[in-house]
Structure 1
Amino acid sequence: MPGTTLRKKLLALAVLVPLALGTFAAPAPAAPAAFTHPGVLVSRPQLDFVRTKVDAGAQPWKGAYDKMMASSYASLSRTPKPRAVVECGSYSNPNYGCTDEREDAIAAYTLSLAWYITGDAKYASKAIAIMDAWSAVIKDHTNSNAPLQTGWSGSTWPRAAEIIRYTFTGWPNATRFATMLRTVYLPKVINGSNSNGNWELSMMEAAIGISVFLEDRTSYDKAVTKFRARVPAYIYLASDGAQPKTTPGSGLDTRAKIVSYWQGQSTFVDGLTQETCRDFVHTGYGIAAIADFAETTRIQGQDLYGEIGDRLRQALGFQAKYELGTPVPSWLCGGSLNLGLGPVTEVGYNAMHTRLGNTMANTETLTLRNRPTGSNNLFVAWQTLTHADNPA
């Protein structure tokens, strides 16, 4: 029919136009009809795998567990330090509750893992006490780093909350905690950011975790849409063309603007990220958030690794190569790199190597060298324990 043919042509044009401008046309998101719980970063089968390995004294899980339990985050005498308003300026200056909030969230997650692995209720009770302390007090995040701070802490809280709510009996204030996530955290992260890519990626990790805990399909879909647009704009592949992709609304409409946004780097190769020439610390934040987001959606039945996996694999391998000491060529970041990738490779390496069978020599060497990993004191914690060689 003529009308049908016209509609098909218009649809094709709508897809091609953003691609021609270098932006990414994302497929439709798909929130699950029924959410899987616990289902933020770790699932029950993953947790059962870890518990079995720790109980058997198998490595590297037992060593990773021992490191976690010896950390201050696992302390049963920890005193949470909630604030009504957490104020975080650039590079956390000023720092009014920023470190306290992030570390209390990591502690709640740590104690939740300890509860599941040991079966000792005192760890669950302590995790609940920390989450209750914050949900009773916090009202807002302010100053220039508020979106990033909310993303970091908001990525960790749902991991803890999912484990406790769905594996432990007795959390009277769980609804209040959910209200905290919905009213204090979600509005700060769900609309994303046009700042450096690690900002929006961390914010979307928080948004997807919160959406799962709240069973909020609308927010889940919005987070997936932004994630699908941001990942191709953060990690370059040669198939992208002469220059990296950009996100809608970024304003990066010339090559000069794109090169400036990519820290002055004008030669683009597989695995280069938008922040490689800034430093590997922030690059690590971006890579970690990408892997964590994909892991959560995989648990929820939406496997994004097929879509973003090659970018993740290339980014891990590219950064790992130089982190391991490969000389930096003159065309890359002016011949000098600021290293320090952090404990961020386990989730992506496990997904792409253990589950999907990709050879990742540099990433494997770096991952094994860093085991057992701890925490970056922001939003990454105990990835060797939860994801090393985990087939679940």
Structure 2
Amino acid sequence: MSRRVPPPPDTGRPSRRSVLKSAAALAVAASVTAPRVADAAPAAFTHPGMLHNAGDINRAKVRVAAGTDPWLSGWNRLTANSHSASTWTPNPQATVIRGGTGENYGTLYNDIAAAYQNALRWKVGGTETNAACAASILNAWSSTLTTLTGNADRFLASGIYGWEFANAAELMRDYDGFDLAAFQQMMTDVFYPLNNQFLTGHNDACVTNYWANWDLCNMASVMAIGILTDDAAKYDQAVTYFRSGAGNGSIAHAVPYLYTDADGYALGQWQESGRDQGHTVMGMGQMGAVCEMAWNQGDDLYSYDDRRFMKAAQYVAKYNTGQDVPYTTYTWGSGQNCAQQSQTVISTGSRGQVRPVWAMLHFHYNRRLYLDDKYISAMYYDLVTPEGGGGDYGSTSGGYDQLGFGTLMYAK
């Protein structure tokens, strides 16, 4: 699928590199076509076409084989992670519980990380043993899992692990030892109903009760399942919700206030900024996943609403690299009766937390679009690179909220 680099908006600043390289950039830009406006699913889905397309995979393969950094450094982070070992043994469960009595969801997120990382090692390194391991993990779960349950947190499980699991399967869809049909059925029967229930009913709570990440992860899962199963209705459901959904994950609600700082950079306050920074950074990864998957199907959500998401990422990155940002009191309705609550100041909780979400954003805005992403770049180069993945950022669920390895797969 070919694309033209879209022209920059009136807000935001052109990158320094784009001024120096404008002739070359324009020559490339003139040779390809623009992403279409995200109004409907593509006539035919592109595969692989979620977090990684064929070009991403080939670039990583060539650069790693040549021993070129930063791809080699990203590859070394992957191969050093125990989840990427071809000897990983899956631990599938018939029932996965997140929230309440009997929690066992750690088995799921660890196996997803292992499936994804082994799939990457196969795609980039060509090792058959990693392919066989990834397929065995995916097949074991699709033949075993029947139920996701727990308290309200079951919707986090259906969302986060839904889009992550589907991404591992997308990488393996052309491997003979992988039962794609059985996996598609599991995603449709076990994950999608909870995704849909949350986005349409919000667990019978006030529509603004749940933080943006709850919407975003379920939206990402719906989109990923739509791509995995070539289901245009599901894909369209996710795109429509991103643009105009009633909950806090839709773009205008996730980024409620816009600013311009003293240096002229456009910023957008993130919905969870008054809560804590760990969840705020998590949001960059969840919305980033939605935008990247859509991009690889030809839809540019990254630039939707005058690049509102970029403004949010710049805001979050600026604050988490130790700089001040403006903050407007955030008020929302909570519980079942929409009781009003407010946050009057930005939270310092977990400020500067490192999660592997920034490579995707930096290499899109700065290297695909030639925009000056000053604060995103600082977050990535000063604190994160080279990005690891699940297992590199703690053993609890927060360390597995994103698949990671963006340096390997997104560097350009």
> Is the counterpart of residue 150 in structure 1 residue 167 in structure 2?
no
> Is the counterpart of residue 85 in structure 1 residue 95 in structure 2?
yes
One-letter amino acid of the structure 2 residue matched with residue 276 of structure 1: S
One-letter amino acid of the structure 2 residue matched with residue 180 of structure 1: M
User: Is the contact between residue 102 and residue 152 of structure 1 (CA under 8 Å) also seen in structure 2?
Assistant: no
- How big is each residue's C-alpha offset from its partner over 1:113-162, in whole Å with a ceiling of 9 and x where there is no partner? 10011111111100000001111111111122111111111111111111
Partner of 1:284: 281
Match among 63, 68, 75 for residue 53 of structure 1: 63
One-letter amino acid of the structure 2 residue matched with residue 49 of structure 1: R
User: Is the contact between residue 190 and residue 207 of structure 1 (CA under 8 Å) also seen in structure 2?
Assistant: yes
- How big is each residue's C-alpha offset from its partner over 1:18-39, in whole Å with a ceiling of 9 and x where there is no partner? xxxxxxxxx8730111110011
One-letter amino acid of the structure 2 residue matched with residue 234 of structure 1: A
One-letter amino acid of the structure 2 residue matched with residue 121 of structure 1: E
Between 319-328 and 131-140, report the one with greater CA deviation: 319-328
Deviation at 1:204, TM superposition (A): 0.9
> Structure 1 regions of 5+ residues with no counterpart?
1-26, 240-268
User: Is the contact between residue 282 and residue 401 of structure 2 (CA under 8 Å) also seen in structure 1?
Assistant: no
The verdict on how the C-alpha distance between 1:320 and 1:207 changes in structure 2, with shifts beyond 3 A counting, is same
Partner of 2:240: 225
Q: Structure 1 residue runs of 4+, over 6 Å off?
A: 328-332
The verdict on how the C-alpha distance between 1:308 and 1:351 changes in structure 2, with shifts beyond 3 A counting, is farther
Partner of 2:247: none
Partner of 2:403: 380
Q: Distance in 2 between matches of 1:374 and 1:341?
A: 11
> Is the counterpart of residue 234 in structure 1 residue 274 in structure 2?
no
Q: TM-score, normalised by structure 2?
A: 0.75
Partner of 1:334: 345
| Corresponding residue SS for 2:73 | helix
| Corresponding residue SS for 1:295 | helix
Identity, % of aligned positions: 29
Q: TM-score, normalised by structure 1?
A: 0.79
Counterparts in 2 of 1:6-17, with a 5 A limit?
none
The verdict on how the C-alpha distance between 1:237 and 1:94 changes in structure 2, with shifts beyond 3 A counting, is same
- Count of equivalent residues: 329
One-letter amino acid of the structure 1 residue matched with residue 294 of structure 2: T
User: Is the contact between residue 315 and residue 325 of structure 2 (CA under 8 Å) also seen in structure 1?
Assistant: no
Between 307-316 and 144-153, report the one with greater CA deviation: 307-316
Counterparts in 2 of 1:210-359, with a 5 A limit?
210-229=225-244, 230-238=250-258, 270-308=267-305, 310-327=307-324, 334=345, 336-338=347-349, 339=351, 340=353, 342-359=355-372
The verdict on how the C-alpha distance between 1:212 and 1:309 changes in structure 2, with shifts beyond 3 A counting, is farther
Deviation at 1:190, TM superposition (A): 2.7
One-letter amino acid of the structure 1 residue matched with residue 237 of structure 2: K
Q: Distance in 2 between matches of 1:179 and 1:335?
A: 43
Higher helix share: 1
Deviation at 1:186, TM superposition (A): 1.0
User: Alpha carbon RMSD of aligned pairs, Å?
Assistant: 2.1
One-letter amino acid of the structure 2 residue matched with residue 236 of structure 1: P
Q: Distance in 1 between matches of 2:110 and 2:365?
A: 29
User: Is the contact between residue 347 and residue 387 of structure 1 (CA under 8 Å) also seen in structure 2?
Assistant: yes
One-letter amino acid of the structure 2 residue matched with residue 374 of structure 1: G
User: Is the contact between residue 106 and residue 381 of structure 1 (CA under 8 Å) also seen in structure 2?
Assistant: no
Partner of 1:243: none
| Corresponding residue SS for 2:173 | helix
The verdict on how the C-alpha distance between 1:223 and 1:202 changes in structure 2, with shifts beyond 3 A counting, is same
One-letter amino acid of the structure 1 residue matched with residue 405 of structure 2: W
User: Is the contact between residue 357 and residue 402 of structure 2 (CA under 8 Å) also seen in structure 1?
Assistant: no
One-letter amino acid of the structure 1 residue matched with residue 42 of structure 2: P
> Is the counterpart of residue 103 in structure 1 residue 110 in structure 2?
yes
User: Is the contact between residue 255 and residue 268 of structure 2 (CA under 8 Å) also seen in structure 1?
Assistant: yes
Partner of 2:171: 163
> Structure 2 regions of 5+ residues with no counterpart?
1-36, 245-249, 260-265, 330-343, 390-398
The verdict on how the C-alpha distance between 1:308 and 1:371 changes in structure 2, with shifts beyond 3 A counting, is farther
